Structure 1
Amino acid sequence: MKSVLCFGDSNTWGYVPLQGGRYPSELRWTTLLERMLPDDWQVINEGLPGRTTGFHESIHSPHSGLGYFLPCLEKHQPNVVVIMLGTNDLQSHLNLSAKDISSGAAHLVKQARHFASHQGYPIDVVLVCPPPIYEVGFAQDGFDGAEEKSTQFAEHYKARAEELECCYFDAGDFVASSQVEGVHWHEDQPAKFAQALHQQIKHLFS
């Protein structure tokens, strides 16, 4: 069985805006993506609410993507890795620019490549740029200036993907964060995301 490891934050985990909690498995974009793949492929949901890229903070932080990524790769031995992180890096106390955050995401791409080289088999890496957020609701406090920074993500994430010569996908072209809650995706968005992502990367599963 081949696998796709989806490494992300609460929008990968399946957080429900406004009411909290988690979407049922059948409504999460990872489950919907798996249904579109050949029978010998499975999708592994490694989303965690609050996860950051992690390069700018201690790898011992429980929400550091960098701190958990290598053990995650070792555990699952994936053939494809989809990385969608950066939204939580917009928190004011981290004081990061959009370019800084894209570099954090790129560091994870490099780590996946390094892992693959030591394992002796190729891993396709897909870098996903998170959609812009709104400074309302969930993101009203602790995200000062984050809305503007998030609109700059696409420029920098695309540049990092080109530098690393990895697959790139701009989620903001297909889905939108809640304009009421600020960060998370309403129920109709995960299906749109899964469909668009599949169209972009389906060549990896042939």
Structure 2
Amino acid sequence: MHQILVYADSLSWGIIPDTHERFDFGQRWPGVMELELAKLGKSVRVIEDCLNGRRTVWDDPYKPGRNGLTGLEQRIEIHSPLSLVTVFLGTNDFQSMHQRTAWESAQGLGAIVAAIRRAPIEPGMSAPEILIIAPPAIQKAKGAIAPKFEGAEIKAVGLSQAIRQVASDAGCHFFDAGSVTKTSRVDGVHLDEDQHLTLGKAMAGMVGQLL
């Protein structure tokens, strides 16, 4: 059986836009991906490690533990052996309390990749392949999260291209989520249920080839 770790934030945790509720496993994209891969005859277990507010390499000044590097190497060790790690981060780097550029966020993902590769997995276990997913472009935030993401749509311009370059330089697989879906029509940042379905099916197609 192939084990796939989804290391991500609220876009993958499956928060229902403008609420504090969560989509069911079969509704959020990692679950859709697992179910679709099963239909393709792939024996796969998707492990979700998705934390609301997780950044790439920066701390949240209001909530502890949102730095994506914190404990990452141990997470890889815990869940090994892994066939694939998908990294879907970046959106929260552009919250209003951060003045980051797309290039800086992409460099943060480069640090995430390096941490995955130096994880102390058991001797004889193969290192997992890494797939970096670029988030869809942030739209102007609406609803309850608007203050938290004020100006994010401007700061994050060029993120997908910057992530693509980092993935290429690091020898990782790359997927642009924005090539198949936009962000939520409700809050402009997360994913609506139909968008999770679209992304999950697209990811199943790509991951199926990698496995």
Deviation at 1:111, TM superposition (A): 1.3
SS at match of 2:33: helix
Q: 2:116: which partner in 1?
A: 112
RMSD after superposition: 2.0
Letter aligned with residue 2 of structure 1: H
Pair 39,200 (structure 1): closer, same or farther in 2 beyond 3 Å: closer
Matched, 1:73 2:76: yes
The answer as to whether partners of 1:61 and 1:67 remain within 8 angstroms in 2 is: no
Which one of the candidate residues 43, 49, 54 is aligned to 1:51?
Answer: 54
Which one of the candidate residues 78, 91, 97 is aligned to 1:93?
Answer: 97
SS at match of 2:148: coil
Letter aligned with residue 107 of structure 2: S
The answer as to whether partners of 1:174 and 1:193 remain within 8 angstroms in 2 is: yes
Deviation at 1:49, TM superposition (A): 0.7
Deviation at 1:87, TM superposition (A): 0.6
Deviation at 1:181, TM superposition (A): 0.9
TM-score, normalization by structure 1 = 0.90
Further displaced range: 37-46 or 136-145: 136-145
Which of the two has greater helix per residue?
1
Pair 116,129 (structure 1): closer, same or farther in 2 beyond 3 Å: farther
SS at match of 2:49: strand
Further displaced range: 12-21 or 162-171: 12-21
Deviation at 1:151, TM superposition (A): 3.2
Deviation at 1:131, TM superposition (A): 0.8
| Corresponding residue pairs, total | 203
Matched, 1:152 2:158: yes
Structure 1 unaligned spans of 5+: none
TM-score, normalization by structure 2 = 0.88
Distance 2:3 2:133 in 1: 18
Letter aligned with residue 16 of structure 2: V
The answer as to whether partners of 1:90 and 1:149 remain within 8 angstroms in 2 is: yes
Deviation at 1:118, TM superposition (A): 7.1
Q: Which has the higher contact order (CA 8 A, sep 6+)?
A: 2
Letter aligned with residue 46 of structure 1: D
Which one of the candidate residues 154, 177, 181 is aligned to 1:175?
Answer: 181
Which one of the candidate residues 41, 44, 58 is aligned to 2:44?
Answer: 41
Structure 2 unaligned spans of 5+: none
